[in-house]
């Protein structure tokens, strides 16, 4: 067996988008012809039918993913146009494919007659395919199939429009401040980044992009300006109100067509959780155990704010500002004091060193074509053997979608000749941009984010599964896909790990021990409030997918959820749902609970390392072998059990959050 050690190169740009679009369209037509040929095979087997079926779709991904990626990281009218043109074509193709009765019967026949001779991964491919066909309406009557296809196309377009509206609204807003008194509390680096000219005047510019928005909400002295910025942020993309209403209506129709009571049931069909009721019970149990601590923390915060001059009622736009001040006073922590110790490139080097110590991985920087000059590319090795490639695009800029994410481009697998195809992944973030005067300095939160996304990337890149449909993160249940990422992010607080990279960018001085202790205390600072906030999002997401709701009813559900679990009530104008892209433009619809569900797995695994030594080769090898290498080739419950030799313990998440100190609180 040979390894393909020549990677695809990212050569797509604004100049050749039309040609790249044609490649996608041509590959779709080529795929259709190949499928016709496959269906004519008389004696269909896994190798002559299922394997080539997977590979033609992997190749289609090779062409389409860079176009989608460019639209996210270097958005323009042209990328929007090409991406928007391709979406309905791809949706139609995949919907028609998923409703092809001949394919469905062929996969069922191979599974039923040959499963005893198949590997675990091959069986999982077929089981997932059969379920997918059924969820795509393969058994529906002709007119219902057509209706489902139209729903899928509409949903694809609406979700894309939701994301584009949000990006446009984020890009199109600015708040200019002339009075130095209003920005006097900002750290000097933040002042420098915000400083600009308006004619002859020096002004300070703030936007809705994360680094800028967070900066003013955390340090802005002028409460009215904080409210102004907050209001702009939570009322972004008002046109998304009608879009989310349409999305919910279509999702409900789709679920009903497929025989489910609601979209929540449909969403959970391919997740670890078995029913909406199980998820609701899980979330409410966490809320019950967490809310008392959250209420206690909020009372402390309100009393602190009052003591420091806030005579009015505490509002959502006061939260970051007084939280930062409370941190400084009670923990003697100023988050800005950490930033000089977290220079982006040093953090990356330290993260690589940690992964070498933990999993014996090596990263080597390579020169290859990229979409922006600040993108870095690394080849990944295990025991000096090349196993994958990673692109890292970490700094904020206009035209780039907010947030942080990992995306896969090429999946580890073997081709028709049994040659190994090596995987490629992207990590994207929006950290403070470097300038000629100043490197990119990260908040510790950014460091945690980088570790998190690296966990996703490793899950994708370290797979040794030969079947692309269940390799890497493919085929992993959505409520388990955050497991490796959350597991890895926990180490960003550990003193042994921090010692590898937390060094002052000017002096090289390591982060002092007292500061490391502060960070560890900071981890669970107001952790009850953080927990109930995530539970608020998760409950809201699940409940609005239990039926078809109007925008007004969606707001009512959100209000009721806040009454039940939230401790800080936002003002009535807050329309958080207009920008909840995770569920209206991403893959988390009726699945936002997955973060907490997976956090039980990740916290449990993390404490196995903490309680037995971080660099425990036996544990690390088991995590590598049973979880990272196996990808989606087995159900997540089985994969976790293979690693831990027991079921996950829900109390691990409460211990991690500092809500309980017990190792077991049963």
CA angle 465, 466, 471 (to 5 degrees): 45
Tokens of 141: 């009557």
Q: Express each pLDDT in 1-39 by its tens digit.
A: 455 556 889 999 999 999 999 999 999 999 999 999 999
Tokens 């809705």 — which residue?
208
Phi-psi region at 181: left, alpha or beta (left = phi > 0; alpha = psi -120 to 50): alpha
pLDDT of residue 305: 97
d(C-alpha 235, C-alpha 152), whole Å: 28
pLDDT score for 262? 98
Cα 387 from Cα 5, distance rounded (Å): 8
Going from the C-alpha of 10 to that of each of 20, 85, 137, the distances in angstroms are 11, 21, 36
* Helix/strand/coil for 377: strand
Contacts by 12-17, CB closer than 8 A, 24 or more apart = 12/66, 12/67, 12/70, 12/371, 13/70, 13/371, 14/74, 14/76, 14/78, 14/79, 17/67, 17/70, 17/78, 17/79, 17/82
583 Cβ partners below 8 Å, 6+ apart?
Answer: 541, 589, 590, 591, 592
Contact 427, 457 (CB under 8 A): yes
Q: Can you give the pLDDT at residue 663?
A: 57
Among candidates 173, 177, 170, which has minimal Cα distance to 222?
177
The confidence score (pLDDT) of residue 181 equals 97
pLDDT at 344: 98
**pLDDT per residue over 311-365, tens digit each?**
999 999 999 999 999 999 998 888 888 999 999 999 999 999 999 999 999 999 9
> Could you tell me the residue ranges of all domains in the chain?
3-98+100-135, 173-234
Please give the positions annotated as active site: 453
- Please report how the helices 240-257 and 142-171 are oriented relative to each other, as an axis angle in degrees rounded to 10: 160
Average pLDDT along the chain, 666 residues, taken 10 residues at a time: 67 93 97 98 97 98 96 95 95 93 98 97 97 95 95 95 96 96 94 92 95 96 98 98 98 98 96 95 95 97 96 96 94 87 98 98 96 97 96 96 94 94 97 93 96 98 98 95 96 95 96 91 93 98 97 97 96 97 94 95 96 95 97 95 93 90 50
Q: Look at residue 661 in the predicted model and tell me its pLDDT.
A: 65
Tell me the CB-side half-sphere exposure of residue 362, using CA atoms within 13 A: 8
Residue 364 zone, left/alpha/beta (φ > 0; ψ -120 to 50; rest)? beta
- At 666 the pLDDT is 37
Q: What percent of the chain has pLDDT over 90?
A: 92
Q: What pTM was computed for the model?
A: 0.85
In 474-536 the beta strands, taken as DSSP E runs, fall at: none
Instruction: Return the pLDDT at 335.
Output: 80
Give the model's pLDDT for residue 664. Answer: 46
What's the CATH number for 3-98+100-135?
Answer: 1.20.1050.40
């Amino acid at each position: 067996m040979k390894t393909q050690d020549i990677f695809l190169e990212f050569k797509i740009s604004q100049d050749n988008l039309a040609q790249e679009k044609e490649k996608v369209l041509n590959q779709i037509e080529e795929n259709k012809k190949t499928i016709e040929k496959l269906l004519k095979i008389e004696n269909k087997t896994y190798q002559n039918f299922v394997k080539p079926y997977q590979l033609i779709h992997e190749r289609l991904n090779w062409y389409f993913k860079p176009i989608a990626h460019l639209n996210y990281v270097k958005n323009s009218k042209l990328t929007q146009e090409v991406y928007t043109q391709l979406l309905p074509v791809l949706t139609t193709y995949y919907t028609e494919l998923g409703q092809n009765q001949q394919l469905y019967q062929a996969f069922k026949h191979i599974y039923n007659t040959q499963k005893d001779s198949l590997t675990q991964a091959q069986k999982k491919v077929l089981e997932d395919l059969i379920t997918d066909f059924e969820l795509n309406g393969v058994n529906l009557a002709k007119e219902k199939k057509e209706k489902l296809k139209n729903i899928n196309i509409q949903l694809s377009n609406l979700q894309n429009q939701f994301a584009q509206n949000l990006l446009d609204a984020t890009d199109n807003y600015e708040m200019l401040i002339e009075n130095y008194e209003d920005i006097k509390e900002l750290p000097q680096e933040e002042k420098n980044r915000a400083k600009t000219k308006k004619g002859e005047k020096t002004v300070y510019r703030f936007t809705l992009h994360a680094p800028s928005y967070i900066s003013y909400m955390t340090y802005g002295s002028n409460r009215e300006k904080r409210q102004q910025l907050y209001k702009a942020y939570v009322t972004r993309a008002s046109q998304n109100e009608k879009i989310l209403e349409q999305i919910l209506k279509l999702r409900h129709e789709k679920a009903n067509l497929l025989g489910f009571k609601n979209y929540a049931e449909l969403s959970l069909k391919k997740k670890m959780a078995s029913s909406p009721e199980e998820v609701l019970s899980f979330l409410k149990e966490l809320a019950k155990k967490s809310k008392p601590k959250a209420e206690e923390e909020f009372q402390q915060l309100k009393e602190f704010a009052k003591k420091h001059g806030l005579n009015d009622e505490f509002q959502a736009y006061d939260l970051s500002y007084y939280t930062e001040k409370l941190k400084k006073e009670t923990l003697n922590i100023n988050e800005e004091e950490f930033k000089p110790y977290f220079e982006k490139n040093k953090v990356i080097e330290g993260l690589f060193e940690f992964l070498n110590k933990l999993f014996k991985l090596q990263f080597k920087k390579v020169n290859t074509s990229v979409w922006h000059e600040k993108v870095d590319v690394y080849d990944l090795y295990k025991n000096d053997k090349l196993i994958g490639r990673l692109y890292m695009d970490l700094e904020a800029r206009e035209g780039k979608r907010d947030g942080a994410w990992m995306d896969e481009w090429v999946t580890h697998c073997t081709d028709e000749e049994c040659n190994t195809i090596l995987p490629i992944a992207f990590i994207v973030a929006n950290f403070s941009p470097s300038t000629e005067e100043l490197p990119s300095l990260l908040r510790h939160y950014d460091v945690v984010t980088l570790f998190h996304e690296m966990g996703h990337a490793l899950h994708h890149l370290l797979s040794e599964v030969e079947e692309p449909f269940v390799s890497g993160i493919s085929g992993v249940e959505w409520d388990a896909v955050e497991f490796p990422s959350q597991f890895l992010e926990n180490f960003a607080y550990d003193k042994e790990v921090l010692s590898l990279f937390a060094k002052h960018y000017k002096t090289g001085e390591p982060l002092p021990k007292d500061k490391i202790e502060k960070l560890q205390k900071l981890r669970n600072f107001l952790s009850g409030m953080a927990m109930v906030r995530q539970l608020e999002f998760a409950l809201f997401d699940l409940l609005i997918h239990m039926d078809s709701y109007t925008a007004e009813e969606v707001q009512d559900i959100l209000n009721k959820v806040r009454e039940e679990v939230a401790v800080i009530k936002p003002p009535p104008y807050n329309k958080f749902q207009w920008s909840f892209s995770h569920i209206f433009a991403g893959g988390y619809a009726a699945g936002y609970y997955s973060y907490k569900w997976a956090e039980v797995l990740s916290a449990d695994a993390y404490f196995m390392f903490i309680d037995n030594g971080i660099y425990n080769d036996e544990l690390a090898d088991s995590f590598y072998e049973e979880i990272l290498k196996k990808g989606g080739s087995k159900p997540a419950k089985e994969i976790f059990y293979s690693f831990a030799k027991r079921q996950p313990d829900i109390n691990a998440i409460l211990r991690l959050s500092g809500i309980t100190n017990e190792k077991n609180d049963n």
